[in-house]
Amino acid sequence: MATLLRFRPIMTWHRTDLAADDIGAGTLRAAVVAGTRVVVVARDGLWYAVEDRCSHAGCAFSEDGEIDGFHLICNCHGSEFDIRDGQPLQPPADEPIATFPVRVATGMIEVES
C-alpha cells in the first residue's frame, strides 16, 4: 500500500501598500494579498491579518467591523472572531476565518499566503 505524503503549499511573502507606522492599535486596514482581501491590525506590539470576510454572511470587516482586544467584531450580525487564530467566539458565525502570518520589512506590512 502506497503512503500519501502531504506537503505544505509553498507560501510567499507579499508586500502590501500599508506602512506599519500608519496603523494604530485597534485600527483595521484593508489590503489585497495574492487576490485575497485581508484586514491587518496591530495589537500589543504584534501584527495580525485575517480574511476581510465574515464566515457567517460575507460582510467585509473593513467596512463594518471593529476590534475589541483580540476580538474582531462583525457589526452586520454581531459575530466575533479571535484575530490570533480566526476561531468564532460569538454566533451567528460558527466557522473560522482565515488568518495569515504578518511581518514588517523596511517599514511596510508583508503578509504570507
Question: What's the CATH number where 102 sits?
Answer: 2.102.10.10
User: Is 4 a domain residue?
Assistant: no
Mean pLDDT of 20-43: 93
pTM equals: 0.87
User: Is 47 a domain residue?
Assistant: yes
User: Is 8 a domain residue?
Assistant: no
* 20: number of Cβ within 10 Å: 17
User: Is 5 a domain residue?
Assistant: no
User: Is 1 a domain residue?
Assistant: no
User: Is 91 a domain residue?
Assistant: yes
pLDDT tens, 43-78?
988 999 999 999 999 999 999 999 999 999 999 999
Q: Which domain holds residue 51?
A: 13-112
Our count of domains for the chain comes to 1
Helix residue spans in the chain (DSSP H): 61-64
pLDDT band at 11, cuts 50/70/90?
Answer: confident
Question: Which of these ranges, 3-7, 27-31, 42-46, has the smallest mean pLDDT?
Answer: 3-7
